[in-house]
Amino acid sequence: MLSELSRMPAEMSSESRRQLLNAVTDLFLLDESPNEASQAHYGDIALKSLPHLEAEARRDYADRVAETPTLPRDVAVSLASDPDADVARLVLKLSPVLTDTDLAAIAVTQSQRHLVAIAERARLSESVTDILVERGDRDVLHTVSANEGASLSDKGFDRLIERGGHDGQISLALSSRSDLTPNRAERVMRIVEQIGDDGTLWNKPGSEALSLARQARQQRLEIKLLMADLSAGRRPLDEIVTMLAEEDRAFHLALVFAQVASLSTDQALRVLMQRDPSGIAVTCRALGVSTEAFGAVLRLRGRRMMFAKTATEDDLKAYAALDPATAERTMRFLKLKTKLS
C-alpha cells in the first residue's frame, strides 16, 4: 500500500497532500518495527509532501513525529533543516534519528533559534557543542552552559569562558554543573568572585545584576569573617563546613580547607571535587571534621556530580572507620611530596 501511495499525482493540492501524509503517518506509526521497504516508501511520501505544505502543517507534522525512532533519517533531516525554526524545533531537540553529523551541519548553516533547539538536546557530543559555542548567540550560550548533557571539550570550555565568562547567568550555570573538573571549577569560581558592586561583569538587567553583585560581595565578606572566626577559635570548623556545604558553596568551602590544611586553593578545590572521595576524606579526617559535617560535604559532592545516594552512604561509613592518625600521616606525606615535586 505504501509503495502505491508513494506514486502520488503531481497535481495534488496542498490540503490533499496534508491529509494523505497524516493518513499514511497513522498507518506507519502503528508498526513499531517497520521493515526497510516500508520505511523507504513512507519516507518517499513524506519528502514529496513536505515542500508543498504550509508552515503550520509542516510544524504539526514535525511535532507529531519528532520523537519517532523509526522515522526515516532523510525525513528527520528535512524537518530539522526547515528554514522555519518552529517547524524544526522539536525534531532538533528530541529526534533520536539525527546523527552528530546531521546536527553539526545544521548548526553550521541554520539560524540561532535552530541552535537553541539543538542546545536543548538531552545529550550533545563535544564536536556539536563546540560549534554551538562558536556560532551561538547569548541565548545559545545560556542554554549550552546550563545543559549538563552538553559535553564540553577543553577547547569548547575555553571558548565559552572567552565569549560568555562575563555573563553572570553563564558563569552561575557553569559553576553548578556536576561535571565540572577542579581546574575548570576554579576558573569559573574566580570569575564569579570578581563581581563588582555595580554588576558590570554581569550581562543582566540592572536591578537583577546589582542584586547578584551585592549577594556575591556579601558572600566574599562573609567568608573572610568566617575564616577570621575560625582562626581565632570563635567558630568550630564543623559549623563552617556544614553551613557552606549545605549552601552548595564549593569554592568557599575549598577556601576554608585551603587555609586550615595549608593547601593552595587549586589543591583544595581539586581534592574537594575529584570523583574519588579518598582525598577529601583524608583531608577532613586529618582536620578533625566530624562524621556529621563530612556527611554534608558528601551531599554537596553528590549534588554536583550526581552520585547515587547509596554511594554517598558507603563513603560516609568508610569515613567513620578512617583512623585519624593514618589520615594525618597521609596528609603530611602528600604535602611533602607536593613540595618536592
Residue 80 lies in a domain: no
Per DSSP, the three-state class of 31 is coil
pLDDT of 200 strictly over 90 = no
Q: Are 124 and 116 spatial neighbours (Cβ–Cβ below 8 Å)?
A: no
Residue 55 lies in a domain: no
If pLDDT is split at 50, 70 and 90, which confidence band does 206 have? Answer: very low
The total number of structural domains in the chain stands at 1
pTM beyond 0.85: the answer is no
Residue 332 lies in a domain: yes
What pLDDT digit, counting tens, does each position of 145-154 carry?
Answer: 988 889 999 9
Residue 186 lies in a domain: no
Residue 259 lies in a domain: yes
pLDDT of 202 strictly over 60 = no
Q: Are 142 and 115 spatial neighbours (Cβ–Cβ below 8 Å)?
A: no
At 236 the pLDDT is 95
Residue 288 lies in a domain: yes
Interatomic CA distance for residues 65 and 190, integer angstroms: 45
Domain membership of residue 245 as a residue range: 236-340
If pLDDT is split at 50, 70 and 90, which confidence band does 332 have? Answer: confident
Picking from 21-30, 157-166, 170-179, 317-326, which range would have the lowest pLDDT averaged per residue? 170-179
Query: Which has the closest alpha carbon to 87: 64, 119, 120, 70?
Result: 64
The arithmetic mean of pLDDT across residues 226-234, rounded, is: 91
Which residue is associated with the grid cell 581565632? 232
Average pLDDT score, the chain: 84
